[in-house]
Amino acid sequence: MDRTPLTLSPSAAQRVATIAAKQGKPAILRLSVEGGGCSGFHYKFGLADAPEGDDLVVETDGVRLVVDPMSHEFIAGCVVDYVESLGGAAFRVENPNAAASCGCGSSFAV
């Protein structure tokens, strides 16, 4: 299996740490890819209690990003960032594997 690393930006790590602290959970962000969305696939984010056995784990500033092997195939080499703009604040995935994405930024096609 391709284990091309993922990157969790410092701003995303800081935001995960803040959210996890407020919820009393470990600072572990789970990113997965699911079918659906306007372009065929969409990203799903959530806090995790712990990595699972076969997860790819990346750490930035003490915060871990975990991804299951099936999802990793679609997002290998991506950068997970947290951006704030006039339109709001959100986690963004810069995915080099996406052939197309939609305006919402959470859906993509390969």
CATH classification for the domain delimited by 7-109, as one of 3.90.700.10, 2.60.40.420, 2.60.300.12, 3.40.47.10: 2.60.300.12
Q: How confident is the model at residue 1 (pLDDT cuts 50, 70, 90)?
A: very low
* 30 vs 109: which has the higher pLDDT: 30
What's residue 96's pLDDT? 85
Per-residue CA distances from 57 to 1, 28, 36, 102 (Å): 15, 9, 25, 27
What's residue 18's pLDDT? 97
Model pTM? 0.84
| pLDDT single digits (tens) 13-40 | 999 999 999 999 999 999 999 887 666 7
Cα(77)–Cα(91) distance, integer angstroms? 16
